[in-house]
Amino acid sequence: MSKNLDQRFATAVELALEGGAMAQRMRHALGPAHAKSAIDFCTEADRAVERLIRGRVTAQFGDAMIGEEDGGAAGERVWVVDPIDGTANYIHGTKRWCVSIAYVHQGAIEIGVLYAPDNDLLFTARRGAGAFLNGRPIGVSRLRHGAAPSVEVGWSERRPLSLYCAALTALMERGCEFRRHGSGALGLADVARGHNDGYLELHINAWDALAGILLVQEAGGVTNDFLADDGLTHGNPLFAATPEIAGRLREVLAAAG
């Protein structure tokens, strides 16, 4: 691993921890959330955490950054950041939200870090070096539990509800159960740690997905090529799964596409 990547990895971890702690502190005195849509919100904490990360990344490395709240342009070296993924959960006072930070160099996701402060869960991955939870290696389920495969199906208003319902039907027809917990990033982390067998969403943005995609890949799972066709700036359909059900999820996405 190059020194530059080592430094960026250390900074990504520091920023995820600091950003998570900042959002936790701010939660007690938040003004009203700004509703981007009926199910999509932004709070003062989302903005403050994104500013913290952008300031440090720019000052320390001069890299490009794309963030959920303030946007940004791609570059050869680009950080892709969701300051709070699971904002609706955060607003409701539940624990399922996280800071998500990915670093992409020349089109390859090199670093993925997720921090869920309320449960003190730090997920980390570097390309080719495995996936970890609080420093311990993690792996996908391989369906060792012996139950029906369970898949989280993310939802946003970026695709019609009828397609979402059709995807649930197609999934159940293929013998899978479904769930939805409101954080795409943590949904992917659950696949990486074997707590769930797959994640599927008809359209998701890069800031929600990139860190989690690297986690799943490094944990032995399979994903579609999310960065194809400008996924970095426009988002894409996504599946991520333990290899045993990857074919089924690919079919469901193809049917809904």
* Residues of the shown chain interacting with ligand IPD in the complex, contacts defined by CB under 6 A: 40, 68, 82, 85-88, 154-156, 182-184, 201, 204, 208
Asked if 110 interacts with Ca ion (CB under 5 A), we say: no
Q: What is the 3-state secondary structure (H, E, C) of 118-148?
A: HHCEEEEEECCCCEEECCEECCCCCCCCCCC
Asked if 201 interacts with Ca ion (CB under 5 A), we say: no
Q: What does 69 bind: Ca ion, ligand IPD, none (CB cut-off 5 to 8 Å by kind)? A: none
Q: What does 20 bind: ligand IPD, Ca ion, none (CB cut-off 5 to 8 Å by kind)? A: none
Given candidates 46, 50, 69, 82, which one binds Ca ion under the rule CB under 5 A? Answer: 82
* CA angle, residues 130, 238, 257, in degrees to nearest 5: 155
Whether 83 and 23 have beta carbons less than 8 Å apart is answered as yes
Whether 219 and 129 have beta carbons less than 8 Å apart is answered as no
Asked if 218 interacts with Ca ion (CB under 5 A), we say: no
Asked if 69 interacts with Ca ion (CB under 5 A), we say: no
Between 9 and 91, CB nearer to ligand IPD: 91
Whether 210 and 253 have beta carbons less than 8 Å apart is answered as no
Region binding Ca ion by CB under 5 A among candidate stretches 28-36, 148-156, 206-214, 220-228: 206-214
Whether 82 and 188 have beta carbons less than 8 Å apart is answered as no
DSSP for 174-222, please give it: TT-EEE--S-HHHHHHHHHTTSSSEEEEEEE-HHHHHHHHHHHHHTT-E
**For residue 12, which of 139, 105, 94 has the smallest C-alpha distance?**
105
Region binding Ca ion by CB under 5 A among candidate stretches 2-10, 18-26, 29-37, 83-91: 83-91
Between 197 and 201, CB nearer to ligand IPD: 201
- Name the minimum Å distance from CB 154 to ligand IPD: 3
* CA angle, residues 153, 157, 161, in degrees to nearest 5: 65
Q: What does 86 bind: ligand IPD, Ca ion, none (CB cut-off 5 to 8 Å by kind)? A: ligand IPD
Per CB under 5 A, residues contacting Ca ion are 82, 85, 208
